[in-house]
Amino acid sequence: MFVTAAYAQQSTTTEGADAHDAPAAGEVHTETGVAHEGEHGSGVFPPFDSTHFASQLLWLAITFGLFYLLMSKVIIPRIGGILESRHDRIARDLDEASRMKGEADAAIAAYEQDLANAKAKGHSIAEAAREDAKGKASADRAAVEAELAKKISAAETRIADIKSKALADVGAIAEETATAVVKQLIGGTVTKTEIAAAVKASAGN
């Protein structure tokens, strides 16, 4: 690469001025009041400085040890206790749910058994009531029929008496009528015996 004479001269002048203006190592800057460090230790990030590695490792070990003690003595036991408590509570809840389910199943089975027994008892009661009603109806019907038969018999007897009496009255009326007719027609008199014979003869015809 070729460099012109003017550029080389300008670069030389600039470097001379910088070297003249830069303060020496260890000198204090007049404007800031801060001592300038040597060129070897300037511009290094402190965590990456090899001179601080030992203290950094020491503090790392101390911090890790404290964090480990905190985790092992405080945080992990509390978390373990919480998990154990929740596990026990869940187990108790599951046992309680299982017990309640068993009780519910037993109650349902008992209810179904009671319902079946009630249905059977109701059926037997209805059957007994039906048989009782049937027997009572039969007895009532027999009593009514007997009463009707008795009334019919009494009515027939009364009718027979009335018929006999009516026939007797008819015979007497016929005799009286025949006597009156004979008396009006022929002007004579006839005996009752003759009139009765004539009425009987006409009734027989």
Check residue 184 and give its pLDDT. Answer: 67
Bridge partners, residue 35, by sequence:
28
Going from N- to C-terminal start, the domains of the chain cover 87-171
> Which residues, at least 6 apart from 26, have a Cβ–Cβ distance to it below 8 Å?
35, 36, 38
Q: List per-residue pLDDT tens for the chain, 205 residues long.
A: 444 444 444 444 444 444 444 444 444 444 444 444 444 444 677 777 778 788 888 999 999 999 999 998 889 999 988 999 999 999 999 999 999 999 999 999 999 999 999 999 998 999 888 888 888 888 888 888 888 888 898 888 888 888 777 766 666 677 677 777 766 666 656 666 766 666 666 655 5
Q: What angle do CA 60, 62, 63 make, to 5 degrees?
A: 65
Phi/psi at 29 (5° precision): -70, 135
Check residue 135 and give its pLDDT. Answer: 87
Q: Is the pTM of this model over 0.75?
A: no
Check residue 37 and give its pLDDT. Answer: 46
d(CA 47, CA 63): 16
